[in-house]
A and B are shown apart, each in its own frame.
Chain A
Amino acid sequence: MWGILGGSLPGLSPSIAMALLLPFTYGMDPTPAIVMLAATYVGAEYGGSIPAILIRTPGTNAAAATVVDGYAMKLQGRAGEALGISLYSGLVGGLFGLGVVVLLAQPLSTVALAFTPSAYFALGVLGLTVIASLARESLVKGLMAGAFGLMVSTVGTDPVTGLSRFTFGSPELLSGIPPILVMIGLFAIGELLAQSGERGVRHAVPERPRIRFPGPALWRRIALPQMIGSIIGTFEGMIPGGGGAVSSFLAYNEARRWSRHKEEFGHGSPEGIAAPEAANNTVACTALVPILSLGIPSSNSSAVLLGGFLLHGLIPGPMLFVSHSDVVTGLFAGLLAANIAMVIVGYLMMGPCMWLVSRPRPYLTAFIYALVVSGVYSIETSLFHVGVALAFGVVGYALRYFEVPLLPMVLGVVLGFMVESNYRRSLVLSGGDHLTFLQDRVSAGLLIAAALILLGSAAHHLVAARKRRAAGVPT
Chain B
Amino acid sequence: MNEMQVTIEFTGISRALTGKTEIAIPLQEGAQLHDVVKKISHQFPALIGEVIEQDGRSMIPTNLFSINGERILHEDQLHYQPKDGDRLILLSLLAGG
Q: Do A and B interact with each other, yes or no?
A: no
Tell me the A residues contacting B by CB distance below 8 Å: none
